[in-house]
Chain A
Amino acid sequence: MSSTPRKRPAPDALVAGVVVAILIALVLAVFLTGLGSTLYPPKAATSQGREIRGLYDIVFAFAIAIFIVVEGLIVWSVLRYRRRPTDVELPAQTHGNNIAEAIWTLVPTAIVLFLFVISWQTLNSVDAVSAQPDVRIHAIAGQFQWQFEYLDGNGTKVATQLAPEYSADTGEGGMAVPVGRSVQVTLDSPDVIHAFYVPRFLFKRDVVPGQTNRFEFTVDPKEAGQVFRGQCAELCGAGHRRMLFEVIALSPADYDTWLQALIAKSNATPAPPPSGTVLNVVAKDIAYDTKALDVAAGTPFAITFSNQDPSGVTHDIDIRDANGNVLANQEPINGGTSANYAYPGLPAGTYTFICSVHPIPAMTGTLTVK
């Protein structure tokens, strides 16, 4: 019956060779073309991130090995054990094999125990916080903007840096840190859960209301001058994707200069109350107290803006024309503070005043210029 050579099953060794060759070729192709590198995290920028990267590489190596072995067995079985017209008799009715089953229970157990132990060791290292870090930053995540308060050795706030507004030029915002120094970040939220995530730190930590989380990192000295993208990683509402920030790595000297400038800016006397037309707007419970403002055409005016929401919730009053173009872009202010916003004279017409942090109907009003 199986006398013609073409119908004879291919020799096992040949099929196995083909399967192994195909899988190795696939894996090689993925890595040689550079696609493989996209399965690795970006280069770690912190010493903690480098440890996580080292751990990732070990887990990844096991993953690739297990994938090749098991996927290879599946592909091999599919290619090798097709039912042929000559297969009338049943195949061997194997119900199990105690030795094989013991092996594929014990070997994976050993592998996962090993991975658990090295993960635990790495965890103890990357999760450690020191009593006296070089730099303390209190990061506050409110819907939908980050604030970074710089603290002194006693935990007293010396200056505040707002993350840049989403649509604004991002020249001056973000959280500056010195390279080579330990930076401890405490996280608080006035509203919902957020998460502090910097991909090049290979790290994120949730910002949970009612609970102060804490973590520490040290940026590698050779990263001085680099800027790392950061982003809220826990869904926090309609503005979730706009909760961006940057971490700016500076040399210790540059950092000191930057911090002194920030302190000077924070301590600067506020702008004097403007003369001329002054309007009053209050923001409370994520809403303006007024939805309509009137000013005269061509005359500069000012708004005394009081943000009466809790600290951590920022608001501003931008002015947009009918097409959504921003005509006046003000810097948001923190809850519990107030500011005097100055606006240029506008041609007669109807405009929108809006909170750039919360562009919702309750924080949108009509500015009539006539």
Chain B
Amino acid sequence: MATHALAPDASAYSRGLLYEWLTTTDHKKIGIMYVINSFIFFLIGGVLALVVRTELAQPGLQFLTDERVYNEMFTMHATLMIFLFVIPMLAGLGNYAVPLMVGAPDMAFPRINALSFWMLPLAGILLVSSFFTGGAAAAGWTSYPPLSGEGPLNSPGAGQDLWIVGLILIGTSSILGAINFLVTIFKMRAPGMTLFRMPIMVWTILVTSVLVLMATPVITSALVMLFIDRNYGGTFFDPSGGGSATLYQNVFWFYSHPAVYVMILPAMGVVSEVLPVFSRKPLFGYKAFVFATAAIGALGFSVWAHHMFTTGSVFLPFFSLLTFMIAVPTGVKMFNWVFTLFRGQLTFSTPLIFAIGFLTMFLIGGINGAFSASVPVDFALHDTYWIVAHIHYVLFGGSVFGIFAGIYYWFPKMTGRMLDEGLGKIQFVLMFVGFNLTFFPMHMLGIQGMPRRIADYAANAGWNDWNRAATIGGFVIALSILPFIWNVFVSLRNGRVAGDDPWEANTLEWATTSPPPPYNFDRLPEIRSERPLFDARHGRIGH
């Protein structure tokens, strides 16, 4: 320290810090950068959602008088939220947690890890820049051709091409990350950590990585074909040239349905770490949970066409049956979680509150999704606001609540300081109320016949009240983000010092300092179960 006093070149030091973060291959720093980068795109995507909700607050076109701009808003909202927020946010939490949880010093390929991260801001800049180069993609995040093709009424201009290139970059990042996770998990576990002693979070990242590795190349092929159709006169998806419009949908959903599990499985992993810690019990049915996760992964590849029941070109009974069947392993998990709480000793810290928020809301997202497995019922619900309600109960009520549970849970490990509990609970209450006020009415709107992706609706359609409620809820959600940002800001400086293990947790990341040293561990405890720290604290009484 004395040498710093002798050469107090502050600017050189701060440049050094920036240089350190820009060139790091430390999985912890990369994980934190994933989280920050994803959070920035969460904020941008959230603003786009508010624009959509504001336009829909009442009938009539208020301020988005160009409907194409409205289409850009919801297209980019979903694109940013899915590809630059939920997926990389969970990959970032995994990036931070997985090597620590398996007792490894880093990911298997640290420089590839840095590469997969740095592709994301690049892809994000490409996507956002399309707003300033003649209009962003406006064909929905699904970008079905022919609408996503050339043509004055379809998707002329560079926005759709930038969207394709951005998604291919993100997909490449995902594939590299998945390989890195798989090698880390299979080859770098600490002595004693057998596969069935891995934390559930690691299991969910493992299954997620398999899904990413098998599915992402498929959507890349769809995107490349779309790019060829748009720019070089291809006719893969153009019936007038012998192509098929629904071919794209099959290829797209072959990735994008598993992608839903990519977005929910790691959040389930977070919840499965948080619930046992804060109820002082092991996860109920660990092995059943692992098998259920694997079953969801496998079934996830055989249900894609349930997004296409109304196209008239789907073998309906097969996809209906498998879509119903996927409810079974999901239900197993729900009961495992509930019976982890059952007869526990619950401490209602913010991570547990968000995890319980996940349980209550993901339950609704599971139930309202089962309606669409019933093909005739889906004929009524498909492409209405019911579906919008469903995906938000899964991806917001599920993934986002799980993400915040994870952030509150691991923030002390990442920074050495605790987030404020009071602000955390204010955030939860605002977010929970705002979320339900926004998305529950969408069930009513959908069942009453309001299609998704419309810029306006008739004043006499009977949809005014629920739309107004949803818009108010949207702003309450936005409000809930402010105490979180403030919480991070003040807690980084003044938060309670966390110590190694503030939660009396179970898994290895809490066996090292907060934040951990670059090499993660000085020594590791004995690993005889999926809860090595619990065993170290309480002996083997739990077994």
B240 near A210 (CB under 8 angstroms)?
yes
Tell me the smallest distance from the CB of B169 to a CB of chain A, in Å: 25
Q: How far is the CB of A110 from chain B (nearest CB, A)?
A: 10
**Contact assessment for B455 and A241 in the assembled complex, using a CB-CB cutoff below 8 Å:** yes
Contact A95 B338 (CB under 8 A): no
Per-residue 0/1 for B311-323: is the Cβ within 8 Å of any A Cβ (1 yes, 0 no)?
A: 1110011001100
Q: How far is the CB of B541 from chain A (nearest CB, A)?
A: 7
Task: Say whether B376 contacts A77, CB under 8 Å.
Answer: no
Closest B residue to A104 using CB positions: B335
- B379 & A143 in contact (Cβ 8 Å cutoff): no
A256 within 8 A of B: no
Residues of B within 8 A of A83 (CB): 280, 345-347
Query: A295 vs B360: C-alpha distance in the bound complex, in angstroms?
Result: 68
| Set of chain B residues within 8 Å of A109, measured between Cβ atoms | 325, 328
Interface size on B, residues (CB 8 A): 94
CA distance A44 to B441 in the complex (A): 21
- Among B440-469, those with CB < 8 Å from A are 443-444, 447-449, 451-458, 461, 466
* Most-contacted residue by chain B among A60, A96, A127, A213 (CB, 10 A): A96
Query: A74-B360, A94-B282, A123-B376 given as contacts; is B316 within 8 A of A143 (CB)?
Result: no
Expressed in whole angstroms, the Cα–Cα distance for A91 and B282 within the complex equals 10
Within 8 A of B (CB), among A63-93: 63, 66-67, 70-71, 73-74, 77-78, 81-84, 87, 90-93
A287 within 8 A of partner (CB): yes
* Residue in chain B with minimal CB distance to A54: B376
User: Size of chain A's interface in residues, with CB distance under 8 A?
Assistant: 87
Is B342 within 8 A of A192, CB to CB?
no
Cross-interface CB contact of B367 among A67, A192, A203, cutoff 8 Å: A67
Chain B residues near A17: list those with CB within 8 A.
Answer: none
CB distance from A314 to the nearest CB of B (A): 12
Segment of B1-9, B193-201, B380-388, B421-429 engaged in the interface with chain A: B380-388
B241 to chain A, nearest CB (A): 10
Closest to B331 in A: A108
Is B245 within 8 A of A210, CB to CB? Answer: yes
Is B166's CB within 8 Å of the partner chain A? no
- Asked if A116 and B364 make an inter-chain contact with CB atoms under 8 angstroms apart, the answer reads no
A108–B328 Cα gap in the complex (Å)? 6
Binary flags per residue of A186-201, CB closer than 8 Å to B gives 1, else 0: 0000011101010110
Q: Is A229 a contact partner of B461 (Cβ separation < 8 A)?
A: yes
Interface of A is mostly: mixed
Determine the chain B residues whose CB is within 8 A of the CB of A203 once the complex forms: 379-380
User: Which residue from chain A places its CB closest to the CB of B281 in the assembled complex?
Assistant: A91
Give B337's nearest chain A residue, CB to CB: A74
Contacts of A123 in B (CB 8 A): 316-317, 320, 375-376
Q: Are B146 and A191 in contact (CB under 8 A)?
A: yes
Which of A40, A191, A206, A240 is B312 in contact with, Cβ under 8 Å? A206
Measured between C-beta atoms, what is the minimum distance from A199 to chain B in Å? 3
- The answer to whether A67 touches B341 (Cβ under 8 A) is no
Interface residues of B in 268-307 (CB under 8 A from A): 279-282, 284-288
| Chain B residue at minimal CB-CB distance from A76 | B342
Residues of A within 8 A of B461 (CB): 229
Residue contact A90 to B538, C-beta cutoff 8 Å? yes
Complex interface: chain A residues within 8 A of B328 (CB): 105, 108-109, 112
B188 at the A interface (CB under 8 A):
no
* B380: A residues at CB distance < 8 A: 41, 52, 56, 199, 202-204
CA distance A45 to B34 in the complex (A): 52
A104 to B346, CA, bound (A): 24
A293 contacts partner chain B, Cβ-Cβ < 8 Å: no
A240 touches B285 (CB 8 A): no
Interface residues of B (CB under 8 A from A): 66-68, 71, 138-140, 144-147, 151-154, 239-240, 243-246, 279-282, 284-288, 310-313, 316-317, 320-321, 324-325, 327-328, 331-332, 334-335, 338-339, 341-348, 356, 359-360, 363-364, 367-368, 370-371, 373-377, 379-380, 382-384, 443-444, 447-449, 451-458, 461, 466, 538, 541-543
4 smallest A-B Cβ distances: which pairs? A210-B239, A199-B449, A93-B542, A241-B454
15 A-B pairs whose Cβ atoms sit less than 8 Å apart in the complex: A51-B376, A55-B377, A67-B364, A70-B338, A74-B363, A77-B342, A81-B346, A93-B282, A112-B370, A127-B376, A143-B153, A199-B448, A209-B146, A209-B239, A238-B68
Instruction: List 17 additional A-B contacts (Cβ < 8 Å) besides A113-B324, A231-B451.
Output: A67-B364, A67-B367, A91-B280, A93-B281, A93-B541, A94-B281, A109-B325, A119-B376, A193-B146, A203-B379, A206-B312, A208-B313, A211-B246, A235-B453, A237-B68, A285-B152, A362-B152
